[in-house]
Amino acid sequence: MLKFLLKGLMRDRSRSLLPVVVVTLGVMNSVFMHAYLGGVLGESLEKTAYFSEGHVRVETRAYADNFSQLPNDLALVGVDTLEKSLERLYPEYDWVQRIDFGGLLDVPDSSGNTKMQGTVMGKGVDLLQSDGEATRMELKKLLVKGRFPSKAGEILVSDELFEKLYLSLGDKVTLISSTMFGEMAMYNFTVAGSLHFGVNVLDRGMMIADIRDVKAALNMEDAAGTLLGFSKNKLYNDRQAVATKTDFNKRYENDEDKFAPVMSSLSDNGLMGFSYAFIKNIAGFIILVFIFAMSIVLWNAGLISGLRRYGEFGLRMAIGENKSEIFRSLIGEAALVGIIGTIFGSMLGLSASWLMQEYGINVGSMMNNSSLMISDTLRTQITPFTWFIGFIPGIFSTVIGAMLSGVGIYKRQTANLFKELQN
């Protein structure tokens, strides 16, 4: 049967070429778009989770309602005890304390007078006692100048801020901010190195310090803005996160206390929730779009090809074949075309995806005013599903197109087919 179908395709190569090309191009685009959207959105989701949101997030109700203002006066207190409780109740997560803050970074001259000042977004994380946070946030990979902090009082700043304030490694700077209790805070730091995040909103003015220094600077002993939980397998599981959130909120439910802790999951964040749902459904969406588009094209191609083959159909019926057998052979030919086109299309799509995954496309100049946490280098992401996603639209579309065009065989009278043969 396979040998017969191959001979049929090779006998009229011009007839077979168009469907193969259509399937190849369609599958190539399906594979590449899946890898592209998964890479861009997946990276944004991952960066947001690791940098600020966590897979699950604990904060006070008041802090959650005003989080954009970095309201450390509404921070969690007794956070060390709460963290130990979370580790006991939900051991499937790694729990870390974070403090986000804003302020001015003052750069003095040799006389102690202000030379330069710049606004900063600050983040207090565990830089010194654990390598987990540095690894999770990939801070060492982002280092472009200097070294990673090794002692108290050392900080990292974004490379753009480093250049804007004309900083040098080892410079003493002063953070001017406000304490947890609304008082003015001034704390001295030493610049150990600079980072390039590849995210405009971070590169403009980010400062990262050890959380113990931040607690001392902002008078936040045994307090933290948030407690973040990260799945130990490093993958966000929405079902697990929702179950954890539901259990925690039942335990600590207190609508009357604005300082009561409340947990949210990554998917609760509006934009991140949309991105997560989109990533989950993107494969199905791409498949449906390309099945529809390719089926229409292949349907039309099949109709044209069918008109050219009425003589062949009449001859085959004259030697004893019936319409059902002819129809099945058309489906078989279409499936074979689909397999051939899918193999070529998948190879091309995976090759293009791999090149973009390895080298990326720098769009930094287009994102100068962007506030989104998206890298300035766009990359694809090849997953196990990317390897075979093309077979679904590739084979389905050719078979559906052949079935639609082949219906004409049944609608056409046998006598007409014999008449076509005579002509």
Element (H, E) at 41: helix 13-48
SS in 3 state form for 201-222?
A: HHHCCEEEEEHHHHHHHCCCCC
The region of weakest confidence among 8-12, 44-48, 51-55, 280-284 is 8-12
For residue 22, name the pLDDT band (cuts at 50, 70, 90).
Answer: confident
For residue 313, the one-letter residue type is F
204 near 168, Cβ under 8 Å? Answer: no
- What's the pLDDT score for residue 16? 62
- Domain range for 89 is 56-235
- Measured distance CA(252)–CA(333) in Å, rounded: 64
Within a domain: 249: no
CA distances from 100 to 15, 168, 416 (A): 64, 25, 79
Tokens of 29: 């685009």
Give the whole-angstrom CA distance, residue 76 versus residue 223.
5
Domain boundary (219, 235, 251) is at 235
Q: Is residue 64 assigned to a domain?
A: yes
Are 16 and 121 in a shared domain? no
Q: Using the CB atoms, write b or e for 165-179: b if 16+ within 10 Å.
A: bebeeebebbbebbe
Is the pLDDT confidence value at 364 over 60? no
Containing H/E element for 265? strand 261-265
Q: Is the pLDDT of residue 136 over 90?
A: no
Quickly state the pLDDT bin for 5 (edges 50, 70, 90): very low
Query: Which pLDDT score is estimated for 272?
Result: 59
Which tens digits make up the pLDDT trace of 67-100? 888 899 999 999 999 999 999 999 999 999 999 9
Q: How far apart are CA 123 and CA 404, in angstroms?
A: 60
Confirm whether 248 is domain-assigned: no
- Asked whether the beta carbons of 76 and 58 are under 8 A apart, the reply is yes
Q: Spell out where 29-142 has E strands.
A: 56-60, 76-77, 93-108, 114-125
Dist CA 249 CA 254 (whole Å) = 9
* pLDDT for residue 255: 74
- Lowest model confidence (mean pLDDT) among 41-55, 130-144, 281-295, 357-371: 357-371
If asked whether residues 394 and 302 sit together in one domain, one would say yes
Lowest-confidence segment of 12-16, 17-21, 296-300 by average pLDDT: 12-16
45, 275 Cβ separation under 8 angstroms? yes
pTM over 0.75, yes/no: no
Same domain (yes/no): 280, 354: yes
Domain endpoint, select from 206, 235, 264:
235
- Comparing 353 with 4, the larger pLDDT belongs to 353
What pLDDT, on a 0 to 100 scale, did the predictor assign at position 371?
Answer: 46
**Rounded CA separation 343/335 (Å):** 12
Residue 130 has pLDDT above 60, yes or no: yes
Average pLDDT score over residue span 7-30: 70
Q: Taking Cα atoms as reference points, which of 59, 187, 210 lies closest to residue 125? A: 210
pLDDT digits (tens, 9 = 90+) for 159-199: 999 999 999 999 999 999 999 998 999 999 999 999 998 77
Domain boundary among 235, 261, 282: 235
Domain count for the chain: 2
* β-bridge partners, 223: 77
Q: Could you tell me if 43 and 78 lie in one domain?
A: no
In a domain, 11, yes or no: yes
Identify whether residues 299 and 153 lie together within a single domain: no
For residue 243, being part of any structural domain is answered with no
Are 71 and 219 in the same domain?
yes
Classify residue 412 as exposed, middle or buried by CB count within 10 Å of its CB (0-12, 13-18, 19+).
middle
**What percent of the chain shows pLDDT beyond 70?**
76
pLDDT at 415 over 70: no
Report pLDDT digits (tens) over 292-343: 777 776 666 655 555 556 566 666 666 777 767 777 777 777 777 778 888 9
